[in-house]
Amino acid sequence: MSYWRLHYHLIWATFERQPLLTLEREKMFYGVLYKKADELGVKVHAAGNVDDHVHIVLSIPPKLSVADCVRHLKGASTFAINRMDGSDAQFKWQAGYGAISIGERSLPTVMAYANNQKEHHKDRTTRNIYERIDDE
């Protein structure tokens, strides 16, 4: 087995930043996230969300590109959420995502930030660098 330590903070939003991540959808998202990550050989260190976007801190093996990892996670979660009981099959993620590489020493700090998304947004203590999804 090869040695690797490739840590990332990924951020992506719901379509048009609509507040679509209800409690039920959130539960489905996390179930799918951890299952799909395990299938891909990705280690999820932390994850958090608010109603219009998610933050995930993970380690992606070198055999898998960041783009492919995001594609699989977004695709699997969209599929599952749209097949929930009572779903209108209209849930989708916004195109694109933010990806920040993380050093080993910064990992605990970024994990805490992701885990505490609801509090950061409620208290207005978000950090711009960790909230970026695009160049705008």
Q: What does pTM read for this prediction?
A: 0.88
- 14 CB burial (10 A radius; 0-12, 13-18, 19+): buried
Contact in structure between 27 and 49 (CB atoms under 8 Å)? no
**Run of H or E including 89:** none
d(Cα 16, Cα 9) in Å, to the nearest integer?
21
Which regions in the chain score pLDDT beneath 50? none
Domain ranges in the chain are: 7-131
User: Residue 57: what pLDDT?
Assistant: 98
* Fold of the 7-131 domain: Alpha-Beta Plaits (3.30.70)
Render pLDDT for 53-76 as a digit per residue (tens, 0 to 9): 999 999 999 999 999 999 999 999
